[in-house]
Structure 1
Amino acid sequence: MAELAEAAGITVRTLRFYRERKLLPPPRREGRIAWYTEHHLARLRTIAALLERGHTLGGIAELLAAFESGRDVGEVLGLADALPMPWPQETPVKLTPQELADYFTGEVTPENLAASLDLGYLAVDGDDFVHVSRRLLDASRELVGKGVPLSAVLAAGRELRQHMDAVSETFTRLVRTHVLADAIARAAAGDGPTADEAAHITKTLETLRQNAKSIVDAELSLSLDRHIRAELEKWIDRPPSGRAGEDAGGQTGDQAGGQVTEAGG
């Protein structure tokens, strides 16, 4: 609970209050241990965002209850059309423990499982696991098959997560500043988007999302080209053995030439 409160930027007392008001689902328990997940953190961030927009805790509870029961949130908010949330584009994969072990033979250790769960790559679904992304799963298996330890793949994933969050923040800032500034200002004044505006914003965001992915892919490709070329140049320029300029007997070219000259003289 303390870790979740710290990640959400609230106090443990506030977190307990939210739980008492049924604003937060209970954690998964294993004995005396309570496990909170990214879903709990996302819920707390949603609550914070709604409070900043002037909603009361009672109204937030109604919104969350509507969402969980399948009611239309736009209806509860009194909006004719609500902006749709971005949909995930990665395909999750459900795996039995044996299937997961088969993917990474000999690498599914308690430490690697804990790291995968902590990163959010894996989630527990009853007796099975759910991997968040088919592409990440297959790429990880390919790396492990090439001899990279799964622990190293997960460590690299954690490092990349930080870089990708920074990249996403860059594009989000561009959109927020140059595309959605007017809509955000009207929303702050209490004017929600019309149906046409909502459709336009949704289409614009999806276009920008695809553009961002293209830019990141191109920049990564160029960066890999530079680094691979530099590594190849190092390998090509490196002498096979001994010091540069030495012959097989360990003599330099000048020394060998001098002996030949003396012998010839």
Structure 2
Amino acid sequence: MADDGGHKVEQSPGHTGGPREYRMEELAGLAGITVRTLRFYRERKLIPPPRREGRIAWYDDRHLARLRTIAALLERGHTLTGIAELAEALDQGRDVADLLGVGTPTEEEPVRLTPEELAARFEGEVTPENLAAALDLGYLGTDGGEIVHISRRLLDVSSALVREGIPLAEVLAAGERVRAHAEALADLFTDLILRHATEHDLHRLRPLARSVVEAELSLALDRRINKRA
């Protein structure tokens, strides 16, 4: 049989209509890499081990998705060492906070999703490139077989924007720009509070800083809307 791209796909003898499986050469062709590169990725443990059937190694769509994500991460400037660390977390189920390099959020609620639930949230938009961008931003991590989104509010807003017709790639690009401004605002309020209070007060006064930002953003949106009216 052949896949949609014209590549010959050979099924394992015991295949019964479940997930497709590929030999090494077939998987490399579908991923657009050489067999030598695939072997290198396997040796570096960037992909999980294949299923063995005698002397034949069988790979499936999970391996193909991983390879496409690796390609997207490499295009965004990630190193193989960094990707290997991510792959280890994907395979061993490291805690999402460790993976993202942050402590457990004190206000934002992480959301656990299966890959199918994530795809349903962003139907047709969960491409390897968008997945790599979300990982790059720290929006997504993994815990065992589950995907973890770092913030329910960000997940809900992102999926709502996509439902309104805004491409997920543009939502993620906007998120990256917002992140830079948010970091600057956080630095501003942290410095302001710590000049006049203590570390304990920083946590207590956090809602006040958030309210200032929300009010200023609301007023700024009012000004933009009025200009266009």
Q: TM-score, normalised by structure 2?
A: 0.57
1:221 to 218, 222, 225: 218
Q: 1:35: which partner in 2?
A: 85
Deviation at 1:29, TM superposition (A): 4.6
Residue 108 of structure 1 pairs with residue 126 of structure 2: yes
1:99 to 117, 127, 132: 117
What is the CA deviation profile of residues 163-220 of structure 1, one whole-angstrom value per residue up to 9, with x for unaligned ones?
A: 000000000111222213xxxxxxxxxxxxxxxxxxxx53x22331010011011001
Q: 1:112 to 1:144 in 2, by over 3 A?
A: same
Q: 1:126: which partner in 2?
A: 144
Give the AA of the match of 2:134: S
What is the CA deviation profile of residues 117-136 of structure 1, one whole-angstrom value per residue up to 9, with x for unaligned ones?
A: 11010002222200011111
Q: 1:137 to 1:87 in 2, by over 3 A?
A: closer
Deviation at 1:42, TM superposition (A): 4.5
| Uncovered stretches (5+) of structure 1, i.e. residues with no partner | 1-27, 44-84, 181-200, 233-265
Distance in 2 between the 1:161 and 1:121 partners? Answer: 11
What is the CA deviation profile of residues 18-75 of structure 1, one whole-angstrom value per residue up to 9, with x for unaligned ones?
A: xxxxxxxxxx9515752259747849xxxxxxxxxxxxxxxxxxxxxxxxxxxxxxxx
Residue 144 of structure 1 pairs with residue 162 of structure 2: yes
What is the CA deviation profile of residues 192-250 of structure 1, one whole-angstrom value per residue up to 9, with x for unaligned ones?
A: xxxxxxxxx53x22331010011011001001100111122xxxxxxxxxxxxxxxxxx
Q: 1:212 to 1:106 in 2, by over 3 A?
A: same
2:203 to 182, 203, 206: 206
Contact persistence 2:99–2:141 (CA under 8 A): no
| Uncovered stretches (5+) of structure 2, i.e. residues with no partner | 1-43, 48-79, 90-96
Contact persistence 2:100–2:141 (CA under 8 A): no
Distance in 2 between the 1:222 and 1:228 partners? Answer: 10
RMSD: 2.5
TM superposition outliers: structure 1 runs of 4+ over 4 Å: 40-43
Give the AA of the match of 2:85: W
Deviation at 1:92, TM superposition (A): 0.6
Residue 161 of structure 1 pairs with residue 179 of structure 2: yes
Contact persistence 2:141–2:147 (CA under 8 A): yes
Question: Within 5 A, what are the aligned runs for 1:169-184?
Answer: 169-180=187-198
Q: 1:41 to 1:156 in 2, by over 3 A?
A: closer
Distance in 2 between the 1:205 and 1:159 partners? Answer: 25
Distance in 1 between the 2:112 and 2:104 partners? Answer: 22
Q: TM-score, normalised by structure 1?
A: 0.49
- Return the structure number with greater helix share: 1
Once the two structures are aligned, what percentage of the paired residues are identical?
Answer: 50
| Number of equivalenced pairs | 143
Contact persistence 1:90–1:133 (CA under 8 A): yes
Contact persistence 2:113–2:148 (CA under 8 A): yes
Give the AA of the match of 1:103: R
What is the CA deviation profile of residues 56-110 of structure 1, one whole-angstrom value per residue up to 9, with x for unaligned ones?
A: xxxxxxxxxxxxxxxxxxxxxxxxxxxxx99510111000000000000000000
